[in-house]
């Protein structure tokens, strides 16, 4: 393990060393656990650290946050805390715990437990690894279920026969890791997984948990592969019986991949995209609006998320037709695209096969989207116009003129406003 840890970037080594110090000072044994260790052994970069503490995870996290001079968010009810760090590092700290499932697919009853009990509640052997941070604890990998060998052999394996029954979201997790790493689901695990699917357990899980796992699948590097594998193993009826992705969906996913890559390359400073939402809207595209809204509500998506997904279904086709017209004016393009989210715009670009539509979207993002006026409310007031909704109307007209290259300088803008307020209708709003 030492050799693996040595290769880590300096920021991670420093953090682990500080956590070791806290472990010694508080006399609470602390361990790196889960995905970070799995990825370390796979030689994959991972900046999400999970630390498990035998004792009190919150006190441990508070002391670590103090040393790091970082913020902290405490989740008292779960005995966990997240450090709020600048940059790419993420640290979650938890008290070791054990779980008991009173019945199939129910939420577990959680209580304090040892490290081994904490590892026993985990999904797969490859995620049930631990490593003592405090040097006094020895520098050996703690691997009670043979996770290291499964990693080497490329196997996804559950820890016990009731695993999928206890928590059917592990079905989605198994498929996600299988597809991400190109692993095989070990034969007995595969039988248990099929049995859990066939007995309808995916219909019994809390929808929020299904949503969270589905979103994680759609955030993976190749969501088409993920959805294909999920559909062929489990179907998607547990989301909607009408959801039957085929060739068209997968080629739309490919087009979305391209558009996202284009957007990220050309507009690195813009808002971070919710890529999962673009793929989900793409997946739901063949369905009717009512069904899409029903799915969004069933999955308990947030209002803004539902609005973006349903909004595309509602007006996407109409907007594409307008954008596909050769010679559409910049102000027209602006008025069509400006109210939409970047996610919706990316999806429009992916869906449309028309070269003008694609060009108009690019123009919007490259030029019009960042266009600002020189004049402000102060100037309108100076011209004697009373503040009110008319300000927005005037700004919209000046912006349209600017987009269509009819005005360019501050003086042009002012001159246009003067002309506008000569018109009957706006004149009445001038100061008495």
In sequence order, what DSSP letters do the residues of 313-334 get, joined into one string?
Answer: HHHHHHHHHHHTSTT--HHHHH
Among 23, 28, 58, 123, binds ligand ATP (CB under 6 A): 123
In the shown chain, the binding pattern of residues 10 to 49 toward ligand ATP, with x for contact by CB under 6 A and - for none, equals ------------------------xx------------x-
Report the half-sphere exposure of 320 (CA within 13 A, side-chain side).
18
Q: In whole angstroms, how large is the CA radius of gyration of the chain?
A: 27
Residue placing its CB nearer to ligand ATP in the complex, 82 or 127: 127
Shortest distance, position 119 Cβ to ligand ATP, whole Å: 8
Residue placing its CB nearer to ligand ATP in the complex, 84 or 367: 84
Shortest distance, position 341 Cβ to ligand ATP, whole Å: 25
- Pairwise CA distance, residues 57 & 75, whole Å: 10
The answer to whether residue 169 forms part of the interface with ligand ATP (CB under 6 A) is yes
In sequence order, which residues have a C-beta less than 8 Å from that of residue 414 and are 6 or more positions away?
375, 379, 383
The answer to whether residue 167 forms part of the interface with ligand ATP (CB under 6 A) is yes
In the region spanning residues 272 to 331, those forming contacts with ligand ATP, defined by CB under 6 A, are none
Among 155, 170, 308, 402, binds ligand ATP (CB under 6 A): 170
Say if residue 26 is exposed, middle or buried (CB neighbours under 10 Å; 0-12, 13-18, 19+): middle
The answer to whether residue 179 forms part of the interface with ligand ATP (CB under 6 A) is no
In sequence order, which residues have a C-beta less than 8 Å from that of residue 131 and are 6 or more positions away?
1, 31, 32, 33, 37, 139, 140, 141, 142
- By Cβ distance, which residue is nearest to ligand ATP? 35
- CB under 6 A: which stretch of 122-130, 277-285, 325-333, 335-343 binds ligand ATP? 122-130
C-alpha distances in Å from residue 243, one per residue of 170, 225, 302, 307, 355 = 21, 16, 21, 20, 30
The answer to whether residue 108 forms part of the interface with ligand ATP (CB under 6 A) is no
Residue placing its CB nearer to ligand ATP in the complex, 49 or 319: 49
- Pairwise CA distance, residues 68 & 426, whole Å: 59
Q: Quickly count: other Cβ atoms within 10 Å of residue 411's Cβ.
A: 11
The answer to whether residue 50 forms part of the interface with ligand ATP (CB under 6 A) is yes
In sequence order, which residues have a C-beta less than 8 Å from that of residue 43 and are 6 or more positions away?
4
- CB under 6 A: which stretch of 119-127, 200-208, 277-285, 404-412 binds ligand ATP? 119-127
- CB under 6 A: which stretch of 134-142, 169-177, 238-246, 410-418 binds ligand ATP? 169-177
- CB under 6 A: which stretch of 21-29, 110-118, 165-173, 314-322 binds ligand ATP? 165-173
Residue placing its CB nearer to ligand ATP in the complex, 122 or 313: 122
Of 350, 355, 366, nearest to 328 by C-alpha is 355
Q: Which residue has the tokens 């050769």?
A: 326
- CB under 6 A: which stretch of 121-129, 301-309, 360-368, 413-421 binds ligand ATP? 121-129
Chain residues binding ligand ATP by CB under 6 A are: 34-35, 48, 50, 122-123, 127, 167, 169-170, 173
């Amino acid at each position: 393990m030492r050799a693996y840890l040595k290769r880590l970037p300096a920021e991670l080594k420093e953090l682990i060393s500080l956590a070791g110090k806290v472990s010694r000072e508080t006399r609470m044994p602390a361990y790196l656990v889960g995905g970070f260790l799995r990825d370390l052994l796979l030689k994959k970069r991972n900046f999400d650290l999970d630390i498990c503490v035998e004792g009190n995870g919150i006190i441990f996290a508070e002391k670590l946050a103090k040393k790091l001079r970082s913020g902290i968010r405490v989740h008292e009810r779960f005995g966990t805390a997240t450090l709020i760090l600048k940059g790419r590092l993420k640290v979650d700290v938890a008290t070791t715990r054990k779980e008991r499932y009173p019945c199939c697919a129910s939420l577990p009853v959680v209580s304090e437990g040892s490290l081994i009990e904490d590892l026993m509640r985990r999904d797969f052997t490859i995620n049930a690894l631990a490593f003592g941070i405090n040097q006094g604890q020895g520098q050996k990998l703690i691997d009670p279920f043979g996770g290291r060998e499964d990693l080497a052999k490329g196997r996804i394996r559950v820890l016990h026969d009731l695993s999928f029954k206890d928590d059917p979201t592990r079905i989605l997790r198994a498929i996600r890791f299988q597809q991400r790493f190109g692993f095989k689901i070990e034969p007995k695990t595969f039988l248990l997984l099929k049995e859990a699917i066939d007995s309808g357990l995916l219909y019994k899980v809390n929808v929020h948990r299904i949503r969270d796992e589905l979103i994680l699948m759609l955030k993976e590097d190749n969501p088409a592969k993920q959805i294909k594998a999920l559909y062929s193993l489990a179907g998607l009826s547990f989301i909607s019986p009408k959801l039957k992705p085929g060739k068209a969906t997968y080629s739309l996913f490919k087009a979305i991949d391209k558009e996202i890559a284009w957007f990220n390359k050309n507009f690195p400073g813009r808002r971070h995209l919710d890529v999962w939402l673009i793929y989900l809207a793409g997946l739901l595209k063949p369905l009717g609006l009512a069904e899409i809204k029903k799915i969004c509500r069933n999955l308990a998506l947030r209002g803004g998320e539902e609005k973006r997904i349903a909004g595309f279904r509602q007006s996407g086709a109409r907007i594409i037709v307008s954008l596909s017209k050769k010679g559409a004016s910049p102000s027209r393009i602006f008025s069509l695209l400006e109210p939409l989210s970047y996610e919706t715009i990316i999806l429009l670009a992916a869906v449309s096969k028309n070269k003008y539509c694609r060009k108009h979207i690019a123009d919007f993002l490259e030029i019009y989207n960042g266009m600002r006026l020189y004049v402000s409310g102060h100037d309108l007031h100076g011209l004697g116009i009373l503040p009110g909704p008319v300000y927005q109307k005037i700004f919209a007209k000046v912006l349209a003129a600017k987009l269509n290259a009819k005005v360019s300088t501050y003086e042009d803008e002012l001159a246009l406003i003067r002309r506008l307020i000569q018109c009957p209708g706006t004149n009445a709003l001038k100061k008495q």
